[in-house]
Amino acid sequence: MAPRLVDIAKHLNISVSTVSRVINGKDRVSDETREKVLKAIKELNYSPNEIARSLRNRSSKTIGIIVPDISNQFFALLSKGAEAVAKNNGYLLILCNSDYDEDMEKEYLEMLTQKQVDGIVIATVCKDEKYFERILDSSIPTVFVDNLPQIKRNYNFVTIDNEKAAFDLTQHLIDKGYKEIAVITGKLQETSALERLEGWKRAMKENGLKINNDLIGIGDFKIESGYKIMKKMLENGKKPEALLAANNFIAYGAIRAIREKDLRVPEDIYVVCFDATDDTGLMSINLPSIVQPAEKIGEIALDIIIKRLNNKEFKIFDKVILEPTFINVMN
């Protein structure tokens, strides 16, 4: 197996970010450390030609993007928006799908660093603070989208107000007269999952409704998770009047479980979610949904990276919170 960036770091007992700075020809590395790293690169035969080329050009004209599920339309559209801006500025986009796997995400980040990408857009699923510190300490401009690191540092991000969006969806249900409202969300280490749960809780509390823990499902953002959680609720006799699903895939899985019990949507259980759109008009069930401006998120994330590449001394962090759209397809 070819040596990796992390192998050089372990070999020298230094951080990956330090090795990366040497490879990128950046400052903030002592001459002694730089010499050790270059010697280790030669000894371990770590892509010497690619490194030499990157050191000469100082740019690979590539930008990496890591998303957890490219099959989800939200991340597909986000990537499309990012790609358009990258192409218009003479960059190629390297798309990586982590499949909601923390280790895979870290492997992709390492690969992108080895490839000397000029910037990275990342919808992270990790919770490791040290991992985020390494990203932010590197010389590669990085923008976080969707899920944000829960750390006490400034960084660039583009997202929506997830808590408010979930509040609005829940309020929509309450305004229609529903009181027994379930919520299914993703892993709470992900800010998008946590904030959507908090928005549901706030709406319930502000309307004087009981928080029923039996109607709170914590899984992940995949179809199977929505299916298993809703199936368990129904088998335990905890049939809600309505459901807030934290994304479209959770909603689709939950609807499958509902139908297996010979129940109907929306007649028996009224379902709302995030990012369920049907441009064809062929879906038998249309769901009231908060739709994020996915392409715009990708475009802005790339604009931030291009701005930082053009002005490496730019010190202000971009914190962009966009407004989603509520699509009410039911009356």
Residue 90 within any structural domain of the chain: no
The CATH code of the domain that includes 232 is 3.40.50.2300
Write the pLDDT tens digit of every residue in 69-111: 999 999 999 999 999 999 999 999 999 999 999 999 999 999 9
Nearest to 154 by CA among 179, 136, 135: 136
Alpha-carbon span 326 to 272, nearest angstrom: 10
How many residues are listed for the chain in this entry?
A: 331
Indicate the DSSP class of residue 99: T
Return the ∠ at Cα 190 (arms to 76 and 99), rounded to 5°: 45
pLDDT at residue number 314: 77
Q: How many other CB atoms are found less than 10 A from the CB of residue 218?
A: 16
Residue 189 within any structural domain of the chain: yes
Number of domains in the chain: 2
Look at 114 and 144; give whichever has higher pLDDT.
Answer: 144
State the DSSP H helix or E strand holding residue 110, giving kind and residue range, or none if neither.
helix 102-114
pLDDT at residue number 25: 66
* Parent domain of 5: 1-58
Please say which residue of 58, 78, 101 terminates a domain. 58
Please say which residue of 37, 58, 79 terminates a domain. 58
Nearest to 140 by CA among 106, 110, 116, 107: 116
Let me know if 228 is exposed, middle or buried by CB neighbors in 10 A (0-12, 13-18, 19+).
Answer: middle
pLDDT at residue number 56: 47
pLDDT value at 280 more than 60? no
Residue 242 within any structural domain of the chain: yes
Q: Any idea which residue has 């559209």 for tokens?
A: 77
Q: Any idea which residue has 């249309």 for tokens?
A: 286
pLDDT value at 147 more than 60? yes
Look at 48 and 91; give whichever has higher pLDDT.
Answer: 91
Please say which residue of 40, 58, 76 terminates a domain. 58
Return the ∠ at Cα 49 (arms to 121 and 34), rounded to 5°: 75
Residue 178's pLDDT band (cuts 50, 70, 90): very high
Q: Please give the mean pLDDT across all residues of the chain.
A: 90
Say if residues 148 and 159 touch (Cβ distance below 8 Å).
yes
Please enumerate in sequence order all residues whose Cβ is within 8 A of that of 267, keeping only pairs 6 or more positions apart, or say none: none
The CATH code of the domain that includes 6 is 1.10.260.40
pLDDT at residue number 40: 87
Alpha-carbon span 4 to 199, nearest angstrom: 42
Residue type, 144: F
Residue 134 within any structural domain of the chain: no
pLDDT at residue number 329: 61
Q: Would you say the pTM of this structure is higher than 0.75?
A: yes
Residue 79 within any structural domain of the chain: no
Arithmetic mean of pLDDT, 262-280: 89
Say if residues 304 and 142 touch (Cβ distance below 8 Å).
no
pLDDT at residue number 283: 60
Alpha-carbon span 265 to 236, nearest angstrom: 19
Alpha-carbon span 229 to 257, nearest angstrom: 9
pLDDT at residue number 28: 73
Residue 43's pLDDT band (cuts 50, 70, 90): confident
Same domain membership, residue 166 and residue 51:
no
Say if residues 57 and 50 touch (Cβ distance below 8 Å).
no
Residue 65 within any structural domain of the chain: no
Q: Any idea which residue has 């010497």 for tokens?
A: 48
